[in-house]
Structure 1
Amino acid sequence: MTVPAPPQFKSVTDRPWAALLALCVGFFMILVDMSIVAVAQPEIMEALHAGVNGIVWVSSAYLLTYAVPLLIAGRLGDKFGPKNVYQVGLVVFTLASIWCGLAGSIGELIAARAVQGIGAALITPQTMALVTRIFPPERRGAAMGVWGTVAGVATLVGPLLGGILTDNLGWEWIFFINVPVGAVGLVLAATLVPQVETHDHRFDWIGVILSGLGLTALVFGVQEGQTYHWAAWIWVLIAVGVALMGLFLLWEARTRTEALVPLSLFRERNFSLCNVGITSMGFAVSGSMIPLMFFLQFVGGMSPTRSALMMVPMAVLTGVCSPIVGRILDRVHPRNIISTGLAGYAIATGLLGWLMTPSTPVWQLLIPTCLMGLSSACIWAPLAATATRNLPWSDAGAGAGVYNTTRMIGSVVGTAAIGALMMTLLADKLPGMNAAASEGSKVHRLPEVVFGVHVREGFASAMGQSLFLGAAVLVVGAIATLFLVRPDHQGSPRGAA
């Protein structure tokens, strides 16, 4: 069932594009922070005398506290106003960034990163919800094109910026750089982002507890499974997480008060299918960056900064093409763009895995990465715009929360699954390598280990073949989005034709 938007759209601001720019500042910052830490991990390990498990938790803590509160954060925006919740999230994120940079131990850094994740969770759903409320339906595609440009570029700028800051100023500055950005974002939000109508929702505390515990158990189990060699208690934890999420869905279906996640959202066909698409994209992108960076640095001999530079053509193409695709989206069937984009990204990922050999020239690797950039422009913003276009305004925050939660869960599962496959392939092709890579004192010496021709070829093969899993999941997303229907400018679908 589709709920139509109001017939007369009345804008709450005469400067919607300025408001969007203000929102993009905070959104850009939190997306950069998801990837900026990766290239600084060896420096952090040495400076804080940490082991590999501690360094893994620097990323895992952020991922957990980002993913789990997203459902709650979307509802908070509906109840207290997305502008207000967005500003609170910026303050939390910026102060936590200062704490990260000043951390004197690995435990303190992990705690600070966990607080950062909470700030990011408060920010993320408000950006999509505000775009839905300040732009009329016929202009949301173009607006989401700008949003998609920011999303695509930020996820690629992170490693490059992290390499430059770590090489020249020290690892602390990958966090301190957020302070001026956060301050500018707060000023712009206060002056340019309008207050919008709120809805006095009753808060579903049982739903909050069930979803929080269920997602925490599920995400932790998947994220840490490889670290603990998939011990029996990990599988029990995952099973508990799945059971709690099942109870959560049952509660949401039966609750007589306002549900944390209105299951009626999934009666809207495009919303459901777009969630499948964004989950597949999160799975492939987050999981594939690990073997790609390992290949470029350990087989290609590149520095962290230089390996990140390989992603620049992809970022440029995404940034240039996203606004163009956004304008086209308002005039064509969304499946033509989205399914083509997901299929293109799947082909590019598979091609990249096939090309990852020690003898492959660098210029050949740029072919699939450029295709990834073009495909990304057809995925991030079009998926978000299509997912939210038909949702009722009162559920805009909840819809954004659900959408971003599925993206994050896809990222967590993709990182764990592709990482597990990568280590399995290493153990098969190079029996001694898997053990060496698991020892904290050996990780930064891996380029010395990858020396002989046989070892280099085996390592490259393991990295390349692990990308095929991401490509296969993207094919599932491409097939699902073939069944999208075309909405009209008033928010009701025209049908498949």
Structure 2
Amino acid sequence: MTTDLQQPAPDSTPSAADADKLDKGTLIIAGVVVLGAIMSILDITVVSVALETFQREFDATAAQVAWTMTGYTLALASVIPLTGWAADRFGTKRLYLLAVLLFTAGSVLCATAGGLEQLVLYRVLQGLGGGMLMPLGMTILTHAAGPDRVGRVMAVLGIPMLLGPIFGPILGGWLIDSASWHWIFLINLPIGIAALVYAAVVLPQDDVEPSESFDWLGMLLLSPGLAAFLYGVSSIPEHGGIGAREVWLPALIGLLLIVAFVPWALARRNKHPLVELRLLKNRDMTVALLAMSLFAIAFFGASLLFPLYFIQVRAEDALGAGLLLAPQGLGAMLTMPVAGVLADKIGPGKIVLVGITVITVGMAMFTQVDADTSYAYLLAALFVMGLGMGSTMMPIMSAALATLTAHNIARGSTLLNIQQQVAASAGTALFSVILTNEIKDSEALQLAGSVQAAGGDESKIGAILQRFGLSPDQLQSVLAGAPSELAGAFATVFIVATVLVGCCLIPAAFLPRTKQELPVDQTAMMGH
């Protein structure tokens, strides 16, 4: 799809340097996509700091309010597979406007929720819109810039993807402290209206070709399969492992549905599968998917640990923990634009290898944390990791998308987003369970947790002392050492994270290390 924004004047011959740059029209379109991505990604992290508030407001348990996150994630995962087909059928502009409208309407409804059940229902509506925003954004940007500049546009899209988890807790903590929990949703109303107007004005009109048939069987297999699998995986931290029926049963059902989808998607008679798994015949796409899967498990899973360390070990509040994570974002902002340009010029392979190595160094620094580690050391480690982040995730995505034909970009974006969502959820569950088990293995931490739960009730504390066989003086001594024990549990989990991030070097070594060749139809498109 080409537009006036992308084409030079007929009698102009832009220089190679000018052709390499992102033109004004592309940057304007990028602004639309970034605005939508900011809404979607910030919302996830902003809501995460409000869970304790929801418990108080709705008199609910932690497991019950967790559904405000789980419901959003399940809706998001269920709708992502439909995005590639819907983009081809209705056009990216129409679908993007619908996604922004659904997300904004869901946000406003969330702010009006009078009970937890209502809030979860409205979060599902939000997720239906939010699930389409990222794959659609990637498709729109790749079409606008052309495959020769995928690295640059992925760097632009990477800004909200990397900074959202860092600044979301800051914004959420500030809104809850200074106003009320309703404003973590209402903040999306002006942003959503601006995104709708902006997109309606600047996105090129859709030029929809005759629609492909819809893969109903694929939808009945994959969407429920993803939702059931992620529900099971998301339940692992609550139940402490995979042995609980509430975990393994939905996960197994989901996995069986996903496995059943694979031969159907590859069948010759299925001309237009819901998700185009035949794209995996493209070596660069397959290697990029493997690298992104391992990276998402390791990095997004471990990202859960940083704010928890500051809150649980260093007694910071949510706002303070969010501010302490800022160096990570600053590091990413420095390297991301440079990495995008270099990925286009010399191929993403070398950039990603350097980025993962830097992240591994930063993560390894966290394996040495204790209860009194200097903040200068912690902030330096986060800054180093940020430098690596900016050189890793988006170049991997650009490696996958740069060699796809124009028709397959929407399908490739869908495949990348499904895989990233599944891997990130699995990583979060993995590290939650490892940390929980480390805490369970520590008698001092078990004792500290029991005393905290007693809430100053002397009879309960007496029963705890009797159960552990301790005197009051011994109790104080054990509690004094609890922060060090807790820091030790975090350090152990960071060792696992460091090893997993280091393992990302294996698939990254197979990413293209030279400028990627454009597919025939995209080369022709660029020559128009």
Same fold? TM cut 0.5: yes
TM superposition shift of 1:12: 5.0
Aligned-residue identity in percent: 23
1:461 to 472, 488, 492: 488
Tell me the equivalent position of 2:231. Answer: 220
1:329 to 343, 346, 355: 343
Determine if contact 1:221/1:238 at 8 Å carries over to the other structure: yes
Q: CA 1:145/1:438 → structure 2, altered by over 3 Å: closer, same or farther?
A: farther
Paired letter, 1:124: M
Q: 2: CA distance between counterparts of 1:440 and 1:319?
A: 42
Q: 2: CA distance between counterparts of 1:464 and 1:119?
A: 38
What is the DSSP-based 3-state SS (H/G/I as helix, E as strand, rest coil) of the residue aligned with 2:441?
Answer: helix
Paired letter, 1:190: A
Paired letter, 1:465: T
TM superposition shift of 1:421: 0.7
Q: 2: CA distance between counterparts of 1:77 and 1:54?
A: 35
Q: CA 1:419/1:186 → structure 2, altered by over 3 Å: closer, same or farther?
A: same
Q: CA 1:450/1:48 → structure 2, altered by over 3 Å: closer, same or farther?
A: farther
Tell me the equivalent position of 1:237. Answer: 250
Higher relative contact order (CA 8 A, sep 6+): 1
Paired letter, 1:248: F
Q: 2: CA distance between counterparts of 1:20 and 1:440?
A: 49
Which runs of 5 or more structure 2 residues have no equivalent in the other structure?
7-24, 456-475, 521-528
Aligned length: 478
Q: What are the superposed Cα offsets for residues 390-417 of structure 1, whole Å, 9 maximum, x if unpaired?
A: 1111121111011011111011101111
Tell me the equivalent position of 2:471. Answer: none
1:265 corresponds to 2:275:
no
Tell me the equivalent position of 2:13. Answer: none
Tell me the equivalent position of 1:3. Answer: none
What is the DSSP-based 3-state SS (H/G/I as helix, E as strand, rest coil) of the residue aligned with 1:331?
Answer: helix
Q: 1: CA distance between counterparts of 2:299 and 2:291?
A: 12
- What TM-score do you get using the length of structure 1 for normalisation? 0.91
Q: 1: CA distance between counterparts of 2:137 and 2:208?
A: 15
1:37 corresponds to 2:37:
no
- What TM-score do you get using the length of structure 2 for normalisation? 0.85
Q: 2: CA distance between counterparts of 1:382 and 1:248?
A: 29
Q: CA 1:451/1:167 → structure 2, altered by over 3 Å: closer, same or farther?
A: farther
CA RMSD of superposed structures (Å) = 2.4
1:348 to 353, 359, 362: 362
What is the DSSP-based 3-state SS (H/G/I as helix, E as strand, rest coil) of the residue aligned with 1:198?
Answer: coil
Q: CA 1:213/1:360 → structure 2, altered by over 3 Å: closer, same or farther?
A: same
1:477 corresponds to 2:491:
no
Q: What are the superposed Cα offsets for residues 339-389 of structure 1, whole Å, 9 maximum, x if unpaired?
A: 22123223322321x232112011110121001111111112212211101
1:59-458 maps to which residues of 2 (within 5 A)? 59-199=69-209, 200-229=211-240, 230-232=243-245, 234-254=247-267, 255-352=269-366, 354-430=367-443, 433=446, 436=449, 452-458=479-485
Q: 2: CA distance between counterparts of 1:90 and 1:38?
A: 21
Q: CA 1:68/1:435 → structure 2, altered by over 3 Å: closer, same or farther?
A: farther
Determine if contact 1:342/1:474 at 8 Å carries over to the other structure: yes
Determine if contact 1:98/1:176 at 8 Å carries over to the other structure: yes
Determine if contact 1:12/1:196 at 8 Å carries over to the other structure: no
What is the DSSP-based 3-state SS (H/G/I as helix, E as strand, rest coil) of the residue aligned with 1:134?
Answer: helix
TM superposition shift of 1:234: 2.6
Q: CA 1:329/1:434 → structure 2, altered by over 3 Å: closer, same or farther?
A: farther
Which runs of 5 or more structure 1 residues have no equivalent in the other structure?
1-8, 443-448, 493-497
Determine if contact 2:37/2:133 at 8 Å carries over to the other structure: yes
TM superposition shift of 1:109: 1.2
TM superposition shift of 1:423: 0.6
Segment of structure 1 superposing worse, 220-229 or 241-250: 220-229
1:13 to 5, 9, 32: 5
